[in-house]
Amino acid sequence: MATTTSSNPIVERCIEDCLECVHWCSACVDESLTHDPAKMAKSIRLCHECAPVCSACAILLSGNSRFGPELCLVCADICDACATECEKHKHMEIMRRCAESCRRCAKSCREVGKSGPIPKTA
């Protein structure tokens, strides 16, 4: 039976939220590039910053890295900035979903970040 490296449900939810955020940020960039790149430049930039940081968080948390919670706090700030920008275009479905995903990710990343280092499991 396959198990994840962490049995902490808060960490597991954060990993899922980070991966979902990577998905929606990537979709948002694609949508922005095909819609109006000049008008969406700030969203594109923030999604390009947000996605790799979320991905790194998911990787570090999956491996129980002691640096995961620290990166989560930075990730939460980037996700909030991305959500704020994408919410400006919430009339577009993908932008709205990106913003929602970023807000969820920011919340769970802050929760993990504030909890400190992940205790090692036996």
Domain extent listing, the chain: 9-115
Give tens-digit pLDDT for 96-106.
999 999 999 99
Give tens-digit pLDDT for 1-46.
333 445 799 999 999 999 999 999 999 999 999 988 899 999 999 9
The predicted structure's pLDDT at residue 121: 53
Give tens-digit pLDDT for 109-120.
999 999 876 655
Contacts of 72 (CB under 8 A, 6+ apart): 14, 57, 61, 109, 110, 112, 113
Residue ranges of the alpha helices (H) in 8-67?
9-35, 41-62
CATH number for the domain formed by residue range(s) 9-115: 1.20.1270.360
Give tens-digit pLDDT for 75-90.
999 999 999 999 999 8
